[in-house]
Structure 1
Amino acid sequence: SEGADIKLKEGDFEQGRNFTNKIWNSFRFLALHFDKEDIANATLANIQNARNRLELVDRWVLGRLNYAIRKMTAAIEQFHFHEAMDALYNFFWKEFCDWYLELLKARLNGEDQSAKRLALSVALYVMKHTMKLLHPIAPFIAEHVWQELGRDEAESIMLAAWPEPLAEFESANDVSDFCLLQDLIVAVRNIRGEMNVPVSKTADVLITGGNGQNPAIITQHEGYFAQLARVKQLTYTREAERPKLAATAVVRSFEVYVPLAGLIDVEVERERLRKEQTRLEKLLEGLNQRLYNQDFIGKAPKEVVERERQKKTEFESNLQRLVSSLRHLSE
């Protein structure tokens, strides 16, 4: 609430350090690929002129930049600086870096120079506007990056205009389509992690269902799955029998299957999961004994009791996933 004291924690400083490192590393990554011509081309006019050549992820990130601008501007005008920082942090790290820059790499390393230049125009445009948003909070690093990217617009970032959202890049369909792809990619990643699939191995993926959804969004962006989830072949069909020995996930009205044959040693993985199941069951048994002990509940500090309850919830969730994984390996 307004006027409330904020307790400083060491973790807050670590988070700030990590965020500035992320900004700097992202800039250095882009600097490996752009030149002065790319900086000059990173204008709204050039992006608008090439609108029909923008990929879905380009339109999505421009829309998310708009959202961050609106959110941060409103928060600053109301003196809610923590909300402003949260909006910028979430956009830059969780959307621009985690998704856009990762998907950008294919075009940056590809042979299509036109696609590469357009991708850099979008990335540098977003980076410049992000620095404008960052400047009230972290002025020194924002100014440093601006001196490399934005001097054609203003000698100093302090003289640059505050960014304005652009309605033409606020498409609910683009956001919805890309969010669906994100959810499906995360589902495949989670399956790979839970089933201990080696990073070095690519997987085939079958997606079924999707009543009321446009399946073309999935098939047209198979490359996104290859880049971010190590997918070798992506197949979509409205209906299909479940593949044998396949891990599965449900995403909205879709079902995602990852056949495991050839990806893992099934017997070794079963044994590993059984051992982990036994370990978690013993930990849960000990936690339950403590939490059902009224002496412990009455005498232990509240934060200790709450921490034990959180552990119980976490262990139960992990155990549920383990049981599900074992079931997949037995089918």
Structure 2
Amino acid sequence: KSIMLAEWPVARTEDISDETEGTMSLIQGIVKGVRNIRSKMNIAAKEPIRVVISTSTEDEAAGITPYEKFMKDTAVINELEIGANLAKPESAAAEVIDTVQIFVPLSKVLVEVEVKKLKKQLAKKEAFFDRTSGKLRSPSFTEKAPPEVVRREKERREALLQEIETIKKNLESIS
């Protein structure tokens, strides 16, 4: 019988499990969280890293432990520690997914390089923020410039302020 003539498949509702779907959603969130940390900290996607996953309960830890190999393979993790209420390692980047905390300990060299880079970025953003704020404080600019230009400068200042806050949070989290 040709697939073209076969009946459309029907899902078997007895195979659907809300618990399993919730667990898989959490696992996907953890993998995404590890990838977000990699991105924020400029860690190469193929570089194996150590990850600590701290859950709020032992049951939650037991629920995600069977997926350890999947997480290691998809997030390129060489060492994975899973447990309830684990302490944050020193100099670790962190991400929170639901009730789960993800920690990626950073090496001393990587921390120093990242701190230096973040401080340089922060100085640039603050200087640009000061210039933009100076323009907006100047009555000659706000009165003579077209309203569209003034609005764009205000939006730029707000975006810079958010970027500065993010950089400061990243500096705090790794220092």
Under a length normalisation based on structure 2, what TM-score does the superposition of the two structures give? 0.76
Q: Check if 1:191 corresponds to 2:41.
A: no
CA distance in 1, matches of 2:144, 2:126: 21
C-alpha contact 2:88 2:103 (8 A) present in aligned 1: yes
How far apart are 1:306 and its partner, in Å? 5.9
Partner SS, residue 221 of structure 1: helix
Unmatched tracts of structure 1, length 5 or more: 1-150
- The answer to which structure, 1 or 2, has the higher relative contact order (CA under 8 A, 6+ apart) is 2
Q: 1:166 to 1:307 in 2, by over 3 A?
A: farther
Partner SS, residue 26 of structure 2: helix
Match of 1:275 in 2: 120
CA distance in 1, matches of 2:3, 2:136: 62
CA distance in 2, matches of 1:293, 1:176: 54
CA distance in 2, matches of 1:215, 1:187: 16
CA distance in 1, matches of 2:59, 2:154: 42
C-alpha contact 1:297 1:305 (8 A) present in aligned 2: no
How far apart are 1:298 and its partner, in Å? 8.0
Aligned counterparts, 1:78-117, within 5 A: none
Match of 1:202 in 2: 48
Amino acid at match of 2:115: R
Amino acid at match of 2:161: E
Q: Check if 1:254 corresponds to 2:100.
A: yes
Match of 2:167 in 1: 322
Amino acid at match of 2:34: V
Match of 2:67 in 1: 221
Partner SS, residue 173 of structure 2: helix
RMSD: 3.4
How far apart are 1:317 and its partner, in Å? 3.5
CA distance in 2, matches of 1:272, 1:248: 19
Q: Residue by residue, what CA displacement relative to the aligned partner does 1:39-91 show, whole Å, maximum 9, x if unpaired?
A: xxxxxxxxxxxxxxxxxxxxxxxxxxxxxxxxxxxxxxxxxxxxxxxxxxxxx
Match of 1:173 among 2, 5, 19: 19
Q: Residue by residue, what CA displacement relative to the aligned partner does 1:241-281 show, whole Å, maximum 9, x if unpaired?
A: 3211211222222221111127x533222111100111122
How many residue pairs get aligned? The number is 172
Amino acid at match of 2:119: R
CA distance in 2, matches of 1:205, 1:199: 14
How far apart are 1:165 and its partner, in Å? 6.2
Q: 1:193 to 1:300 in 2, by over 3 A?
A: same
Q: Compare the two structures and name the one with the higher strand fraction.
A: 2
Under a length normalisation based on structure 1, what TM-score does the superposition of the two structures give? 0.44
C-alpha contact 2:27 2:64 (8 A) present in aligned 1: yes
Q: Residue by residue, what CA displacement relative to the aligned partner does 1:126-164 show, whole Å, maximum 9, x if unpaired?
A: xxxxxxxxxxxxxxxxxxxxxxxxx93117xxxx87x67
Q: Compare the two structures and name the one with the higher helix fraction.
A: 1
Amino acid at match of 1:216: A
Unmatched tracts of structure 2, length 5 or more: none
CA distance in 1, matches of 2:115, 2:10: 52
Kindly report structure 1 stretches of 4+ aligned residues shifted beyond 6 Å.
none
Q: 1:220 to 1:320 in 2, by over 3 A?
A: farther
Partner SS, residue 199 of structure 1: coil
Identity in percent: 22
